[in-house]
Amino acid sequence: MKIRSIKYFFLVFIFLPLLISCGNAHNNESVFVNGDDAPNQTSVEGVIIFDQISGKHLLIQDTNFQYEDKGLSIKELLNKYDNVLFLSFKNESLVEHVKSGQKVRIWYNEILESNPPIYKVEQLEISED
């Protein structure tokens, strides 16, 4: 009888908290209705590039970006500049008035794992520079 109670004690006080903590580790996703509700939004600044061939949007964070390079292919940009981010817009209307080669600030709250990473843009602002 004593061995049986030790087994229950061990099960309840050792494995149960462990199982509960493992179960909560997978439920850390946050859902945001719009950018204003997202407390962990981060912003970055750079030059936005629209690739005409692939239709992809890139943000180059390199301060030494040459304006003439805006016509280079994605592969050439990735080889020439270190900080190149691929962008995905939750609302495509954010980029309707933006021209390739303009300096912008973007706010994002999610980064998709890829190489290079894809930043899910919530908000975009054209810089005056």
pTM of whole model > 0.85?
Answer: no
In the chain the domains, ranked by start, together with CATH numbers, are 35-126 (2.40.50.140)
Place of tokens 């303009």: 102
Alpha helices in the chain (DSSP H): 2-10, 16-24, 74-80
Which residues lie across from 108 on neighbouring strands? 42, 121
* C-beta atoms surrounding 63 within 10 Å: 9
30-50: per-residue pLDDT in tens? 333 344 444 467 899 999 999
pLDDT of residue 11: 54
Between CA 90 and CA 35 the distance in angstroms is 10
81-96: per-residue pLDDT in tens? 988 999 999 888 888 8
